[in-house]
Amino acid sequence: MKFADTRVTLSPLSLETAPHRRQDPGANLGTLQHVAKDAVLYWEGDSGGGCLRLHDGVLRAVRYTDDGARQVVGFFWPTELLHLGKGETYHCTIEAVTDCQIASLSGDGQSDVGLHEVLMDKAIATLSVVGCKSVISRVAWFLLELSRRENGADGTIGFDFPRADLADYLGTRTETVCRMLAQFRERGLVEPLEPRRLRILDALGLAALAHDRLVE
Amino acid sequence: MKFADTRVTLSPLSLETAPHRRQDPGANLGTLQHVAKDAVLYWEGDSGGGCLRLHDGVLRAVRYTDDGARQVVGFFWPTELLHLGKGETYHCTIEAVTDCQIASLSGDGQSDVGLHEVLMDKAIATLSVVGCKSVISRVAWFLLELSRRENGADGTIGFDFPRADLADYLGTRTETVCRMLAQFRERGLVEPLEPRRLRILDALGLAALAHDRLVE
DNA sequence: CGTCTCCTTGAAAGCGTTCAATTACAGTGG
DNA sequence: CCACTGTAATTGAACGCTTTCAAGGAGACG
């Protein structure tokens, strides 16, 4: 029971399932490490540095407000880097959405794009979505985001995280996400396969919705 | 008429009122420059670098979406620095909300916090606000933000920008901002002085509202 | 004094939330 | 193998907030 109520601060339990917590990343160069679902890699306020490379799984960058609300700032997908200079501090908590495989890279990687820049981009992208009006356009936008990431697959897209993550990310509630997905299904835009997997049937229709140009 | 419709891309006119546009900041070390209201300092995609210091006025960092919507990512207040390394690119358009006095600092200022980090912080802060539910709590939060910035004054706070900026920043509409301010007045939380200046009478009451703990 | 912009207020409609109940599914132990 | 249990996902119905469209005021400036 990691997230009894997703709008409540993280339970202490998750601490014990966080193998990376306060370890020296330099100690294990290049070796793949397994990080359990819901584990915390870094807490907001932790200091760097080092460079992690996400091989498999999904991470989320989140910010908890004092009154327990959670805001998902963005997700990290396989092949993405988390590179923070020594002495710099994390401005978000980094958690594993799913079980992950992560490598600690050795070189300080001066050539890499820094985590600050990456996070800023993700935050602004999220902001542009959450800032726009209708929830339906946000969900449509997110499905298209996912589909761009799953190119080469069998045309289906899978999201390995619960509806609550999606809701916190898009600034809405789980029930509303369900309703939007159901609406897409009724309109013939998507074909649900499993609860966390679907096939996009009409990408253009979704794109139209994503831009708030409602198509009746 | 710079912003006939605030949800439309910037008119070309603003280009001509942007003295800093594509200038070499190193050319004028430390000298104060005047930047006109609604001028654009940098466009999204421009490359740095240099370091600006805002002496007077307010700047906004904005992102325009392809369908003309605008998202205000954050504001810059006097004494804040905009420092971007050479070769790095701006991820937001930086515009003057009011007439501004700005200095171009010489040293590359390695000790300064980079613009990426500053913008990330602002973006996440904005996201945390826009991501939470009620508009009334966002407006309350923003007034408290402003009041923390105007310490030492006569207890009044002024915002030199139109309601439209506030609305785009908080993810709502100008009419709603008006209604929220009117509500604050009716509840005795604030005392309006001018359209863009007011006095906070009950900071604790505002804080309660900002946390969505409604007080009847 | 007209015009323009900004701000304010009204009324109605729409959309998303909220609360509640139901279903589905995986894990566990009998 | 099957109930039991807890979590995740879905659907329904009513409420309430915010938007939308519209009109009216308040200054600034020519």
Residue ranges of A 151-190 with Cβ closer than 8 A to chain B: 168, 171
**A4 belongs to a structural domain:** no
| Contact indicator for B143, B81 with CB cutoff of 8 Å | no
- Asked whether residue B174's C-beta has any atom of DNA/RNA strand C within 7 A, the reply is yes
Which pLDDT score, from 0 to 100, does residue B198 have? 93
**Do both B86 and B143 map to the same domain?**
no
B190-205 confidence digits (pLDDT tens): 999 998 999 999 999 9
**B55 belongs to a structural domain:** yes
Q: Which residues of B192-210 are buried (b: 16+ CB within 10 A; e: fewer)?
A: eeeeeebebeebebbebbb
A29 pLDDT band, cuts 50/70/90, is low
Q: Which domain holds residue B63?
A: 13-113
Per the prediction, chain B carries an average pLDDT of 80
Whether residue B7 has pLDDT greater than 70: no
Which pLDDT score, from 0 to 100, does residue B141 have? 93
Whether residue A169 has pLDDT greater than 90: no
CA of A2 to C1' of D4 (A): 22
Q: What is the DSSP letter of B106?
A: -
Of the three residues A112, A142, A160, the one that is the final residue of a domain is A112
**B4 belongs to a structural domain:** no
* A7-21, A168-182, B95-109: segment of lowest average pLDDT: A7-21
Which pLDDT score, from 0 to 100, does residue B193 have? 92
**A118 belongs to a structural domain:** no
CA of A191 to C1' of D16 (A): 33
Instruction: Test A124 with B65 for CB contact under 8 angstroms.
Output: no
Give, as ranges, the nucleotides of chain D with any atom within 7 Å of a protein CB. Answer: 6-13, 17-22
Which pLDDT score, from 0 to 100, does residue B108 have? 57
- Asked whether residue A136's C-beta has any atom of DNA/RNA strand C within 7 A, the reply is yes
**B37 belongs to a structural domain:** yes
Which pLDDT score, from 0 to 100, does residue A87 have? 87
Which pLDDT score, from 0 to 100, does residue B50 have? 87
Find and give the residue nearest to C5, measured CA to C1'.
B1
Collapse the DSSP code of A75 into the 3-class scheme (helix H, G, I; strand E, B; otherwise coil) and give the result: strand
How many separate domains does chain A show? 2
Which pLDDT score, from 0 to 100, does residue B216 have? 36
C-alpha neighbours within 13 Å on the C-beta side of residue A18: 22
Instruction: Test A211 with B126 for CB contact under 8 angstroms.
Output: no
**Do both B75 and B148 map to the same domain?**
no
**A189 belongs to a structural domain:** yes
B44-64 confidence digits (pLDDT tens): 999 977 899 999 888 999 998
**Do both A28 and A101 map to the same domain?**
yes
pTM higher than the cut 0.85: no
Of the three residues A84, A112, A140, the one that is the final residue of a domain is A112
Distances, alpha carbon A142 to alpha carbons A6, A78, A137, A146, B25, in Å: 20, 17, 9, 6, 39
Of the three residues B85, B113, B141, the one that is the final residue of a domain is B113
B109 pLDDT band, cuts 50/70/90, is low
Residues from chain A contacting residue B168 (CB–CB below 8 Å):
131
**Do both B65 and B153 map to the same domain?**
no
**Do both B150 and B199 map to the same domain?**
yes
Which pLDDT score, from 0 to 100, does residue A212 have? 66
Cα–Cα–Cα angle for B9, B59, A119, rounded to 5 degrees: 80
Record the tokens describing residue A47, joined without a space: 């200091």
Instruction: Test B114 with A119 for CB contact under 8 angstroms.
Output: no
Which pLDDT score, from 0 to 100, does residue B204 have? 92
Record the tokens describing residue B102, joined without a space: 């700005």
**Do both B88 and B51 map to the same domain?**
yes
Q: What is the mean pLDDT of residues B101-119?
A: 82
Query: Any idea what the CATH number is for the domain that residue B136 is in?
Result: 1.10.10.10
First-to-last alpha carbon distance for chain B, in angstroms, is 42
Which pLDDT score, from 0 to 100, does residue A110 have? 61
B84-104 confidence digits (pLDDT tens): 988 899 999 999 988 899 999
**Do both A99 and A137 map to the same domain?**
no
**Do both B105 and B143 map to the same domain?**
no
**Do both B66 and B33 map to the same domain?**
yes
**B120 belongs to a structural domain:** no
Q: Given the structure tokens 């800032």, which residue do they identify?
A: A131
**Do both B93 and B138 map to the same domain?**
no
Q: Given the structure tokens 């761009």, which residue do they identify?
A: A148
**Do both B103 and B167 map to the same domain?**
no
**A145 belongs to a structural domain:** yes
**Do both A104 and A21 map to the same domain?**
yes
Smallest Cα distance from A7 to chain B, Å:
11
Whether residue A69 has pLDDT greater than 80: no
Whether residue A141 has pLDDT greater than 70: yes
What's the rounded Cα separation, in Å, for the pair A133 and B172? 8
- Of chain A, the percentage scoring pLDDT greater than 70 comes to 79
Record the tokens describing residue B169, joined without a space: 């920043």
What's the rounded Cα separation, in Å, for the pair A38 and A15? 9
Whether residue B3 has pLDDT greater than 60: no
Starting at the edge strand found earlier in the chain, the sheet holding A81-84 runs: A32-35, A100-105, A50-56, A81-84
Whether residue A20 has pLDDT greater than 50: no
